[in-house]
Structure 1
């Protein structure tokens, strides 16, 4: 469909993920939890999308500066999860809120 958003999803970093799951399972068993459920989620659970607006110092390779302001526009800041380089697969709401407060603090410095 023309103009539609398309998600091209591919699992990555699986070796590190498997190591984390293995170590966490060992720790949980040692703590007395005999049953550990560990199912990797697929594309059907693609909540908490992150990483669609790259942050950096160079406008040629990033959309946002280090204060989440768009390089090419003087009055647009992005304070959702799109500047995150990746997702930890946990709800990012508190990190988003903390960053929004950090970005808002910069507004005080910009005000005349």
Structure 2
């Protein structure tokens, strides 16, 4: 959440996304991710997490004033592929999730730096980008996962993928998977349209195959 020098009277501000550095930047060859506007913070939301930091960060701005000047952003980095991140089934039937949550942290740091570098040009207080509550853009834990993907990834090599490039199981001739499980990795944008487009592509393949 950034604090604008001018009041922000919008009621629904999730109308803008910025992907200038999605595929990298002039100082970084790897994906940084995307920046979206987020639903508007209000005084109650800020107050709910304020005791730990409000006095130090904005002693001259009551919660209502902070909320009236708040401009909210969502930063999302691409979850780069990592072979050791996987879901497996143990011998006793238990499901095991192996996850390294530190993958691509450097890209996220650089994306945040890009945003912070723009705040002054956007009419914000450059020293007031708050980050210590769930409403003010702290890192989301694994429990907040919303876009699960990649558990039955596709590819050309059966040793590193479960599906072929048409989303058919390498080992079964009549099994296709067309939800977001086929993703090799999850991007920094919502996956629904990509999943729909791929399902239509696989549907055309099946029609051609069935004659």
Q: TM-score, normalised by structure 1?
A: 0.82
Which structure: greater strand fraction? 2
Greater mean deviation of Cα atoms: 75-84 or 2-11: 2-11
Residue segments in structure 2 that go unaligned for 5+ positions in a row: 1-89, 130-135
Check the 8 A contact 1:51/1:84 in 2, yes or no.
Answer: yes
> Whole-Å Cα distance in 1 between the matches of residues 120 and 176 of structure 2?
45
CA gap of 1:15–1:59, structure 2 versus 1, over 3 A, is: same
Larger Rg: 2
CA distance in 2, matches of 1:33, 1:98: 39
Q: How many residues align?
A: 112
- Return 5+ residue gaps in structure 1 as ranges: none
Whether 1:21 and 2:120 are equivalent positions in the alignment is no
Q: Match for residue 210 of structure 2?
A: 111
Candidates 165, 176, 179, aligned match of 1:77: 176
User: Structure 2 length as normaliser, TM-score?
Assistant: 0.47
Contact 1:48 1:89 in 2 (8 A): no
Supply the RMSD in Å over aligned alpha carbons. 2.2
Cα 1:104–1:66 shift into 2, 3 Å = same
Structure 1 or 2: more helix by fraction:
1
Cα distance in 2, alignment partners of residues 92 and 33 from structure 1: 31
Question: Does structure 1 residue 9 correspond to structure 2 residue 87?
Answer: no
